[in-house]
Amino acid sequence: PNSLSIKENDTAEFRVEITGKPTPIVKWQLNGRELSSSSDTNITIKSFEEIYILKIEKANVKHAGEVVVTAENAAGMVGKEVVLKVEPDVTKPIFKTHLIDRSVNEGEPLRWDIAIERPYKGVTVKWFLNGKELTNNENVQIIDDGEGKYHITINEAKSDMCGTLIVKATNTYGTSESHAFVDVKEVNRKPEIIRQPQDHTVEENETVKFSAIIFGKPTPTINWYMDEMKLVNSSEIGVKFDEITGKTSIKIFKANLTDSGKKVLF
């Protein structure tokens, strides 16, 4: 057989005439791997009389490389090496598997998988949520699975992730995009004390501060009490609550002996 150079998706055919007694066993290899008609749907191996044929239909770049044919019988073995070159039919990336819309509850995981046809070297894949590029962190994992397959995992969906997810695949010929809508539903949670206030000992007329962290959905209403008396902002008392962080605190600017031993709670 002779070496061949073809374009992607063309057919490569190698023919060789082999004689010998007894009739030799003929094998074909591609890049060190023995070929058979059952190993690849694109490959056909056949013979008639002393002509042996290897046909690769719709060849792609993975079929490029060294083709070896060997013939062996009791008298010995011979072989011949040729080269198959496959010129890629390169265009901008084409998505074989697209993103799909997802809807989950807050705190649940999310995952998307995509695949690109004819995954040549030089393709870069980037993910964007509401216009902001996503990168690997504790909550987001972006994986290149090889062979043109990629996936992204979000361990815990958050309510501010609602919007549009876009994946962009780029090579020197251009960029292709796939889009999906993301819906994250908020889940109500009863108030939970993340950090408890601590006991304090101070001198009379000193300022004492109690603080805590509370989380809940929807945002809970926070009230502080000393024994059973509700504490509110005044010249003697300052009450704060940050709805975003859940941090709450109360300052008693001039603690006195009458406050000693009383419980401060919320």
pLDDT surpasses 60 at 126? yes
What pLDDT shows up at residue 79?
A: 93
φ/ψ of 173, rounded to 5, equals: -95, -10
| pLDDT above 90 as % of the chain | 51
Mean pLDDT estimate for the chain: 88
42: confidence class by pLDDT, cuts 50, 70, 90: confident
Over residues 49-62, the pLDDT tens digits come to 899 999 999 888 88
Pinpoint the residues of the chain covered by CATH 2.60.40.10.
4-87, 95-185, 189-265
Assign a CATH topology to domain 4-87: Immunoglobulin-like (2.60.40)
Over residues 193-249, the pLDDT tens digits come to 888 888 878 777 888 888 888 888 888 888 888 877 887 888 888 888 888 888 988
Please say whether the structural domain 189-265 has been given the CATH code 2.60.40.10. Answer: yes
Q: What's the rounded mean pLDDT across residues 149-170?
A: 95
Any idea which of 2-16, 119-133, 140-154, 237-251 has the lowest mean pLDDT?
Answer: 237-251
Highest mean pLDDT among 66-70, 172-176, 196-200: 66-70
Please say whether the structural domain 95-185 has been given the CATH code 1.25.40.20. Answer: no
pTM: 0.52
